């Protein structure tokens, strides 16, 4: 589409022009801003009838922004390339790009749709917020929402003992007690490359089936992500064994100094050994010994256990871009206003209840 600000086009990931490819990071530097990750998501986490693409914005006759998106069978953009596996899915920008102008151009492109959803964005990222300000200037209604919390712990320059010393007292005593026993009764294995990868994947799948976890919505994703990340040197697959049998598994990735926990599970029949606690401690100990780790990232959601292992929380947000002149946009705006009213009402009721 051509408008007063520039152009926006949708291109499949395998046909990105070189200039657009250069906007993405190497996976070793920033996994969720890399084409490696988005190729994995597009290949193994797309719903039936949908495919991965990239929205490319050009301003001042050069590509200024790229955003992985999801399109339907007719090539219409539906959303950002969201999945249950992403920690982030924001746009990437060219150095020196006019980000607000890029937002206006993208917003003008979105005007053809009733509504489009974008999520998994950082709430504290100035370029992303500048982009959304530009979208708002285009005339599209921007309806923000909280998506999920992300718990993390800065660990640069810290040893495992340093890290453990600032954890809650109950966790410290449990870890120390359980680790003493575990070093006698269990065996820890770390898979980082192709060696032992298939055995590790098989053991991961076996434990996942025996755990409390629900079946994966995209069953092929985790195995193929592990293989791709192992080839890139980013995989950290931890396995805990007792009597030569796996009892706990954790899938981590390391990128740009961030150690990211993607998946974990344990065999509930081994609960007396606290295999999840033991393996988490062993993985963090291994990661910090490896060196170069600046942050432990526990991924999506506010699960209570994460607050034992980390001290910091940041918000991930999303937006509905709604066209107020199309039925789907009118509906999205109405739903957003109703949601705001309900939240305000609940807050007022809670305030009154506390005052009684």
For residue 244, the enclosing domain spans 156-293
Q: Distance between CA atoms of 66 and 62, rounded to whole angstroms?
A: 12
Q: Count the domains in the chain.
A: 2
- Would 269 be classed as within a structural domain? yes
- Would 302 be classed as within a structural domain? no
Task: Please tell me whether residues 16 and 135 are part of one structural domain.
Answer: yes
Task: Please tell me whether residues 111 and 238 are part of one structural domain.
Answer: no
- Would 224 be classed as within a structural domain? yes
The gap between the terminal CA atoms of the chain, to the nearest Å, is: 58
Partners of residue 260 on adjacent β-strands: 253, 297
Task: Please tell me whether residues 165 and 138 are part of one structural domain.
Answer: no
Task: Please tell me whether residues 143 and 166 are part of one structural domain.
Answer: no
pLDDT of 4 reads 55
Q: Distance between CA atoms of 259 and 244, rounded to whole angstroms?
A: 27
pLDDT of 2 reads 40
- Would 304 be classed as within a structural domain? no
Task: Please tell me whether residues 95 and 143 are part of one structural domain.
Answer: yes
pLDDT of 345 reads 45
Q: What is the CATH number of the domain that holds 178?
A: 3.40.630.30
Q: What is the CATH number of the domain that holds 54?
A: 3.40.630
Task: Please tell me whether residues 240 and 338 are part of one structural domain.
Answer: no
pLDDT of 101 reads 96
Question: Which parts of the chain register pLDDT below 50?
Answer: 1-2, 341, 345, 349
Contacts 24+ apart (CB under 8 A), 55-58: 55/8, 55/9, 55/10, 55/106, 55/109, 56/8, 56/9, 56/10, 56/11, 56/16, 56/17, 56/20, 57/6, 57/7, 57/8, 57/102, 57/105, 57/106, 57/109, 58/6, 58/7, 58/8, 58/105
- Would 310 be classed as within a structural domain? no
Task: Please tell me whether residues 170 and 271 are part of one structural domain.
Answer: yes
Task: Please tell me whether residues 127 and 260 are part of one structural domain.
Answer: no
- Would 44 be classed as within a structural domain? yes
pLDDT of 1 reads 37
Q: Residue 141 to residues 71, 115, 132, 264, 336: CA-CA distances in angstroms?
A: 21, 9, 10, 39, 11
Tokens of 203: 């053991």
Secondary structure element (H or E) that encloses residue 352, with its range: helix 327-355
Q: pTM for this one? A: 0.91
Task: Please tell me whether residues 222 and 109 are part of one structural domain.
Answer: no
Task: Please tell me whether residues 339 and 278 are part of one structural domain.
Answer: no
Q: Distance between CA atoms of 99 and 108, rounded to whole angstroms?
A: 14
Task: Please tell me whether residues 64 and 167 are part of one structural domain.
Answer: no
């Amino acid at each position: 589409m051509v408008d007063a600000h520039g152009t926006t086009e949708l291109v499949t990931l395998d046909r990105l022009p070189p200039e657009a490819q250069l906007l993405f990071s190497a996976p070793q530097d920033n996994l969720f801003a890399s084409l490696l990750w988005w190729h994995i998501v597009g290949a193994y986490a797309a719903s039936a009838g949908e495919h991965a693409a990239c929205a490319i914005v050009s301003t001042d006759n050069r590509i200024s922004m790229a955003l992985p998106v999801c399109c339907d069978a007719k090539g219409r953009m539906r959303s950002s390339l969201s999945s249950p596996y992403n920690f982030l899915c924001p746009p990437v920008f060219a150095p020196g790009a006019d980000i607000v102008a890029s937002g206006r151009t993208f917003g003008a492109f979105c005007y053809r749709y009733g509504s489009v959803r974008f999520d998994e964005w950082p709430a504290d990222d100035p370029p992303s917020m500048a982009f959304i300000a530009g979208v708002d200037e285009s005339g599209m209604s921007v309806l923000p929402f909280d998506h999920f919390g992300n718990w993390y712990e800065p660990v640069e320059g810290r040893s495992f003992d340093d890290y453990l010393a600032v954890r809650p007292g109950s966790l410290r005593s449990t870890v120390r007690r359980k680790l003493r026993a575990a070093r006698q009764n269990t065996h820890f294995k770390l898979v980082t490359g192709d060696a032992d990868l298939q055995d590790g994947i098989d053991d991961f799948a076996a434990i996942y089936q025996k755990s409390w976890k629900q079946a994966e919505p995209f069953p092929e994703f985790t195995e193929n992500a592990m293989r791709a990340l192992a080839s890139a040197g980013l995989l950290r697959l931890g396995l805990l064994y007792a009597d030569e049998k796996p009892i706990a598994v954790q899938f981590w990735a390391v990128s740009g100094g961030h150690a990211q926990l993607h998946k974990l599970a344990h065999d509930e029949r081994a609960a007396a050994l606290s295999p999840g606690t033991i393996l988490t401690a062993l993985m963090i100990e291994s990661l910090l010994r490896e060196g170069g780790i600046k942050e432990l990232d526990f991924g999506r959601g506010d699960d209570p256990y994460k607050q034992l292992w980390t001290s910091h929380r940041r918000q991930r947000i999303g937006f509905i871009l709604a066209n107020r002149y199309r039925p789907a946009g009118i509906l999205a705006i109405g739903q957003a206003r109703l949601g705001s009213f309900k939240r305000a009402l609940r807050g007022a009721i809670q305030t009154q209840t506390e005052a009684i």
